[in-house]
Copies of this chain bind each other. A is one copy, B any other.
């Protein structure tokens, strides 16, 4: 298969960049650091959005929309938040352009300077909590469970399609609660919603855990996260959910009267996933032939390609193809029938392999004679002939089979690339030879964490919520450690 795609072994990073562009997922734009999400990539994102949105609504959340711009002063209200988010950002300073008097083109009108600069939202806690002050007075107004689908901007210097872009799309949940326990339960619930989604729809296994203090969201008391392992042995944070305590309520003066008539600050959470998930999807399942998509998210689950040399053959093949398409659609399968006469079958086979369509069905004149079709799986690249009576049933069962197979392969890959180490030497050796997740004892201090990061570029991905909790001694300092934590080099 000549895809002209760099192989993963040759250069994993190059393979990723090429694949994202060639499979029509996204490309760089004329605006530094900003991507164009192409229709095929956007169709996958839309499927992700639809499932997540359903899950959010089933857990009682409503969508709303808050302003793109945040006045500069809002960021100063929450002390730790400003350092985390109000630094590398897009700043709107003027509100008008005009024609230059010398005819050289359009220039910024110096008379149209804003009194206060506006920041293009890097995240919306500040503007949302400024609004919640008006919405929350009593326990009757709580919990307030709101989500927003939006674009955000963080001025990144080195960008990569989906993984790190100046502008990206995401959802951000922002909830307000009467009690600390309820807010913590919400933050944990949303971490679980994310892991359900990533495991069952994206077929990516994740480790659930909490971040160390130094890796927390700016302004959070606890950050819950889900961590996935990519094929190259690097980790990717797939979603985070934050327990914000009363920090934002205090910063924006959001109080409520309890049932007992007492006035208290509100408890908060926020949680988000972004188009970064598209990068995780590509890097978990795809191969040297192109994308491999899990059926639950594939815009087209099945593609039918007709094969013929003349009109007579086309007519016969076309009838079988259309009947099959109808039958499959009636079973809820998303089917594309590519009957374009501008492209040859071989070109189409290549194209749909590159685009990761889970099942390809080819129908030629001989198949019509024999009452069969040729069926090819994208995940295993296996082909077989199936009789017309069995093909619908086969395709339906394949959807689940392929979904499960991708998940199992990813689980195996992760198992093979998760190592428990007991010394710092071993830690560094594993990191440099195979990479992957490394479980090791750590003394719980920010100093040791920083030292490891500086020396190895590995960070603590999370303190896992599950798994054996056995005490030991820190691999670096020898000081006591309550449990092993999860390290990796990460995207």
Contact = CB atoms under 8 A, between A and B. Distances in A.
Interface of A: 27, 29-31, 34-39, 42-43, 45-46, 62-76, 82, 86-98, 105-106, 108, 117-120, 127, 130-131, 134, 140, 146, 150-151, 153, 155, 167, 169, 342
Contacts of A169: 65
Given A29-B131, A76-B105, A65 B36 contact: yes
Given A36-B64, A42-B64, 18 more contacts: A29-B66, A29-B67, A30-B74, A30-B130, A31-B71, A31-B118, A31-B127, A34-B67, A36-B67, A37-B65, A39-B64, A46-B63, A67-B167, A68-B167, A87-B98, A88-B95, A91-B96, A140-B342
A39 B90 contact: no
Given A66-B36, A69-B31, A151-B151, A96 B92 contact: no
26 contacts: A29-B66, A29-B130, A30-B71, A35-B67, A36-B67, A37-B64, A42-B64, A42-B65, A43-B62, A45-B65, A46-B63, A67-B167, A68-B151, A72-B106, A73-B105, A76-B106, A86-B106, A89-B96, A91-B93, A91-B94, A91-B97, A91-B108, A92-B93, A92-B120, A95-B155, A96-B155
Contacts of A131: 27, 29-30, 36
Q: How many copies of this chain sit in the oligomeric assembly?
A: 2
A24 to B, nearest CB: 10
**A64, A89, A105 — most chain B CB neighbours (10 Å):** A64
A70 B31 contact: yes
A401 B355 CA distance: 47
B93 A94 contact: yes
B96 A34 contact: no
A76 B99 CA distance: 10
A336 to B, nearest CB: 13
Contacts of A151: 68, 150-151
Contacts of A38: 64
A182 B108 CA distance: 39
A64 B35 CA distance: 11
A258 to B, nearest CB: 13
Contacts of A27: 131, 134
Contact of A91 (B34, B86, B89, B92): B92
In order of increasing CB-CB distance, the 10 nearest A-B pairs are: A34-B67, A39-B62, A37-B65, A91-B94, A95-B155, A31-B67, A93-B93, A90-B92, A39-B64, A29-B67
A62 B44 CA distance: 12
Which of A87, A98, A131, A169 neighbours the largest number of chain B CB atoms within 10 Å of its CB?
A: A87
A27 to B, nearest CB: 8
Contact of A75 (B88, B106, B134): B106
Contact of A120 (B68, B127, B155): B68
Contacts of A68: 34, 120, 151, 153, 167
Contacts of A82: 106
A146 B146 CA distance: 30
A36 B127 CA distance: 10
Contacts of A150: 151
Contacts of A30: 71, 74, 127, 130-131
Contacts of A105: 73, 76
Contacts of A86: 97, 106
Contacts of A63: 39, 42-43, 46
Contacts of A67: 29, 31, 34-36, 167
Nearest to A259: B342
Nearest to A70: B31
Given A127-B31, A131-B36, A167-B69, A97 B89 contact: yes
A340 to B, nearest CB: 9
